[in-house]
């Protein structure tokens, strides 16, 4: 895959697993929440994990998946407060700030486009301060559709006027890249290292990077070659935001 920056005006970037280390989210939803739920409702921890993991999966690819108010209500826990208990794990991936700086210097329109709930955004943007790099931040909850829904990308035009042919989308979700591709977004980049705790798994369908610095041309050029690993498998389980 040859990426030519001369043909790109707009850069749409996901947040969790793409710009930020998904280790925080994986630990929070798969370990921290079950632990707190187990303690509050006097349920054995192994049973709490089993019940909650199944409950989380039942809401995949819906707006409930990332809605902190929904989960606070459903679980009887103050989910935003619990996030603050482990916020020290929130971290920006290596190379992200370098890439955002470069893209901004090139005059690209930078937009953070995420499924994350507004309360998640508030916590993570305050912790990482990456919001200053973007022309705007759009949550799927504003749009009214998750990015897994193909209609999302057309509805996004009401918030971000963009030409799909001249747009780059960076994601750690193949499902989201697929719906964007069906809408016509041309330049699709898969982040194969969503979590620092996981081994990178390149996509078999999309150009993959481990770090965003791989998208910066060398020696003042305008093109970057991105590999598509035909032998790789990238079906890593995602967690809520």
Residue 232 has pLDDT above 70, yes or no: no
Pair 172, 15: CB distance under 8 Å: no
Q: What is the CATH classification number for the domain harbouring 158?
A: 3.40.50.1000
> What is the model's pLDDT at position 227?
78
117 plus 153 within the same structural domain: yes
237 located within any domain: no
234 located within any domain: no
The residue out of 88, 113, 144 marking a domain boundary is 88
Average pLDDT over residues 32-52: 97
Give the pairing type, strands 136-139 and 109-114: parallel
239 located within any domain: no
Among residues 226, 3, 9, 185, which one has the least CA distance to residue 106? 9
189 plus 127 within the same structural domain: yes
Backbone region of residue 201 per phi and psi (left: phi > 0; alpha: psi in -120 to 50; beta: other values): beta
Instruction: Tell me the residue range of the domain where 48 lies.
Output: 24-88
50 located within any domain: yes
The residue out of 88, 114, 131 marking a domain boundary is 88
230 located within any domain: no
Among residues 153, 160, 203, which one has the least CA distance to residue 180? 153
> What is the model's pLDDT at position 228?
76
7 plus 29 within the same structural domain: no
What's the pLDDT tens digit per position in 95-125? Answer: 999 999 999 999 999 999 999 999 999 999 9
125 plus 145 within the same structural domain: yes
114 plus 169 within the same structural domain: yes
> What is the model's pLDDT at position 220?
75
What's the pLDDT tens digit per position in 43-88? Answer: 999 999 999 999 999 999 999 999 999 999 999 999 999 999 999 9
84 plus 96 within the same structural domain: no
137 located within any domain: yes
83 plus 97 within the same structural domain: no
> What is the model's pLDDT at position 237?
47
Residue 92 has pLDDT above 80, yes or no: yes
> What is the model's pLDDT at position 236?
46
Residue 238 has pLDDT above 80, yes or no: no
73 plus 111 within the same structural domain: no
Contacts 24+ apart (CB under 8 A), 77-82: 77/33, 77/36, 77/37, 77/40, 79/33, 80/119, 80/123, 82/28, 82/32, 82/33, 82/36
> What is the model's pLDDT at position 56?
96
The residue out of 55, 88, 121 marking a domain boundary is 88
197 plus 211 within the same structural domain: yes
The total number of structural domains in the chain stands at: 2
For 21, the token pair is 């280390």
149 located within any domain: yes
58 located within any domain: yes
For 133, the token pair is 């790099």
Q: How far apart are CA 19 and CA 94, in angstroms?
A: 9
Q: What percent of the chain has pLDDT over 90?
A: 89
239 or 50: which carries more pLDDT confidence? Answer: 50
Give the pairing type, strands 167-171 and 10-13: parallel
78 plus 135 within the same structural domain: no
Average pLDDT over residues 122-138: 97
103 plus 157 within the same structural domain: yes
14 plus 46 within the same structural domain: no
Work out the pLDDT band at 235, boundaries 50, 70, 90.
very low
């Amino acid at each position: 895959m040859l990426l030519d920056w001369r043909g790109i005006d707009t850069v749409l970037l996901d947040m969790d697993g793409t710009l930020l280390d998904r280790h925080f989210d994986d630990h929070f939803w798969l370990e921290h929440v079950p632990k707190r739920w187990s303690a509050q409702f006097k349920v054995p921890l192994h049973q709490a994990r089993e019940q909650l993991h199944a409950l989380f999966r039942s809401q995949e690819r819906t707006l409930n998946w990332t809605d902190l108010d929904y989960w606070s209500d459903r679980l009887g826990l103050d989910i935003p407060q619990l996030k603050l208990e482990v916020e020290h794990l929130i971290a920006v991936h290596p190379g992200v700030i370098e890439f955002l700086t470069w893209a901004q210097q090139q005059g690209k329109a930078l937009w953070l486009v995420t499924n994350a709930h507004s309360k998640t955004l508030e916590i993570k943007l305050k912790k990482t301060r990456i919001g200053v790099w973007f022309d705007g931040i759009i949550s799927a909850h504003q749009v009214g559709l998750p990015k897994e829904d193909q209609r999302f990308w057309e509805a996004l035009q009401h918030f971000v006027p963009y030409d799909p042919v001249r747009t780059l989308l960076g994601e750690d979700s193949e499902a989201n890249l697929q719906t964007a591709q069906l809408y016509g977004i041309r330049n699709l980049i898969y982040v194969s290292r969503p979590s620092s705790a996981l081994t990178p798994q390149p996509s078999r369908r999309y150009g993959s990077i481990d770090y965003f610095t791989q998208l910066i041309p060398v020696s003042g050029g305008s093109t970057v070659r991105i590999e598509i690993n035909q032998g790789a498998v990238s079906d890593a389980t995602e967690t809520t935001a």
